[in-house]
Amino acid sequence: MPDKDAGTPRVFLVRHGETEWSISGRYTGRSDIPLTANGEAQVSTSAKVIVGVGKIIDPSRVAHLFISPRSRAQRTFDILFDGDSQKQLEEKRETTEDIREWEYGAYEGLLTAQIRSARKEKGLDEAKPWNIWTDGCENGESPGEVTARLDSIIAKIREIQGPCMHGEKGVDVVLIAHGHILRAFTKRWIGFELSRSLPMMLEPGAVGVLSYEHHKVDEPAFLLGVNMGTES
């Protein structure tokens, strides 16, 4: 069947590689935990497959990059793009707190079980277990606060991509960030409240893809499958 959405701009969600805290499941927000050796290898493997001229992420077709200021995200950028690509993308690269990880506040460095136990001792969550998507974090961010900063990025992306819905020029966008915030971004991309259930997984070093249906900027969508061959 014909590819009715060929040329439509895309948004690539890149989760940083593995860290010691991601292995253990500890909530990692502002803590600047470096990539493990395996985490660097994860990103390098992804880069070889999907980054380069004629590949899924072609630096010549990237209009903008939003990168978290945490070192694990910055290092992921350094591994994902080679030196020539980095020079090509230098003026398009934006390090911004708007795509940092969820601010976990009192829950930084804890496991989900520890958070729920601590909240239970305070008499919280009697009706249902703690859920970050609805309850947010003590001394950290609420779902509403996260929504506000992600919506600002989405507005910028739509402004960049809106005039080029039929591939008039390359306006792909890359986000390099963290597990929770990229899943939150996906919900907001398709207009879901963060409280709305949408089970998602994004492994360390992996890449997700968002786009639009029918070449329309007001029809944002998941891109469930991406052809791994050469781009036309």
Nearest residue to 181 (alpha-carbon basis) of 38, 30, 64: 30
Q: What whole-number distance in Å separates Cα of residue 42 and Cα of residue 54? A: 21
Residues of the chain with pLDDT > 90, as a percent, come to 92
- Helix ranges (DSSP H) in the chain: 20-24, 37-50, 71-80, 83-89, 112-121, 132-135, 143-161, 179-189
To the question of whether residue 29 is assigned a binding role by annotation, the answer is yes
To the question of whether residue 72 is assigned a binding role by annotation, the answer is yes
pLDDT for the residue numbered 223: 86
Inform me whether the pLDDT recorded for 226 exceeds 90: no
To the question of whether residue 130 is assigned a binding role by annotation, the answer is no
Per DSSP, what are the bridge partners of residue 207? 14
pLDDT for the residue numbered 174: 98
Q: What whole-number distance in Å separates Cα of residue 223 and Cα of residue 211? A: 6
One-letter amino acid at 66 equals F
What is the domain partition of the chain in residue ranges? Answer: 11-222
The b/e string for 29-59 (b: 16+ C-beta within 10 A; e otherwise) is beeebebbeebbebbeebbeebbbeebbbbb
| Average pLDDT estimate for 5-21 | 93
Helix (H, G, I), strand (E, B) or coil at 15: strand
> Are the CB atoms for 175 and 99 separated by under 8 Å?
yes
| Average pLDDT estimate for 190-208 | 95
Helix (H, G, I), strand (E, B) or coil at 95: strand
In this structure, which CATH number among 3.40.50.620, 3.40.50.720, 3.40.50.10860, 3.40.50.1240 belongs to the domain 11-222?
A: 3.40.50.1240
pTM reported for the whole predicted model = 0.94
> Are the CB atoms for 100 and 177 separated by under 8 Å?
yes
pLDDT for the residue numbered 228: 59
CA–chain centroid gap for 64, Å, is: 14
Inform me whether the pLDDT recorded for 7 exceeds 90: no
Inform me whether the pLDDT recorded for 6 exceeds 80: no
Query: What are the C-alpha distances in Å from 186 to residues 97, 110, 209?
Result: 17, 24, 9
DSSP assigned state of 57: B
| Average pLDDT estimate for 153-172 | 96
Among all residues, which ones are annotated catalytic? Answer: 16, 101
To the question of whether residue 28 is assigned a binding role by annotation, the answer is yes
Token digits for 104? 């976990």
CB atoms < 10 A from the CB of 210, how many? 21
> Are the CB atoms for 194 and 184 separated by under 8 Å?
yes
Residues 58-67 pLDDT 10s: 999 999 999 9
To the question of whether residue 134 is assigned a binding role by annotation, the answer is no
Residues 90-126 pLDDT 10s: 999 999 999 999 999 999 999 999 999 999 999 999 9
Distance in angstroms between the alpha carbons of the first and the last residue of the chain: 16
